[in-house]
Amino acid sequence: MPRINPDEVRAVLFDMDGTLVASDGAVERSWLAWAAEYGVDGHEAYEMAHGSPSASTVRKLLPHLDEGAIVVASARQLELQYDDLSDVTATPGAFEALGVLAERGLPWAVVTSADTRLAKARLGAAGIVAPVLVTTDDIAAGKPDPEGYLRAAELLGVDPAGCVVVEDAEVGLQAARAAGARTAALRGLDGDLRLGSLADLAAFLRG
């Protein structure tokens, strides 16, 4: 049974990649290409990167680099992602869930470990317009730090305790819990609500 009452939900905060936007192929291609350039294991890089900002992943993979080189390597990783949108789409159930939010008059936001340029590109490719978007450009610390989710709740004017965060990565769920929000988890992860897809979120919100 879900540990959330749908009548108590005041806002929904979505992660982007793997949650609202199906971009796994683009993300994997970019990390494999980047890893080949920098001489690290591509599959390890891709797994480590899931849900986290590129810069923090690059820092873990290349601990010997100074900060200037980390900035360059992180910028290169993002560069590989910006124009790779060929198979980026909305995830199953995404539009259904957003439709229910509109019906109920519930505000929502996207909180992503991407930067603003990449977030707008991927959301645009998926046909989604986020009323509030919080990216790594808007905060000092990325997931698992709660800053992004706290910022989104503030922008929506909703107490974090009234927010449900929808995530497909453990670092994102950690950020949500640290923010004091309830969690809805995809990909078999554990949250207050477990989702097979966003169609399940739509059904839940309908009560």
Going by the DSSP 8-state scheme, the letter that residue 17 receives in this structure is B
- pLDDT by residue (tens digit) across 116-150? 999 999 999 999 999 999 999 999 999 999 999 99
- Specify whether the CB–CB gap between 97 and 199 falls below 8 A: yes
Domain residues of the chain, as ranges?
Answer: 6-23+88-206, 24-82
Looking at residues 102-116, what average pLDDT do you find?
Answer: 97
Q: Is 63 helix (H, G, I), strand (E, B) or coil?
A: coil
Residue 185: enclosing H or E segment and its boundaries? strand 182-185
Catalytic residue among 15, 84, 115, 145: 15
- pLDDT by residue (tens digit) across 150-199? 999 999 999 999 999 999 999 999 999 999 999 999 999 999 999 999 99
What architecture is domain 6-23+88-206?
3-Layer(aba) Sandwich (3.40)
Distance CA 183, CA 197 (A): 14
Claim: this prediction has a pTM higher than 0.75:
yes
Catalytic residue among 7, 17, 24, 66: 17
The dihedral through the CA atoms of 28, 78, 173, 194 has a sign that is negative
Is 41 one of the annotated active-site residues of the chain? no
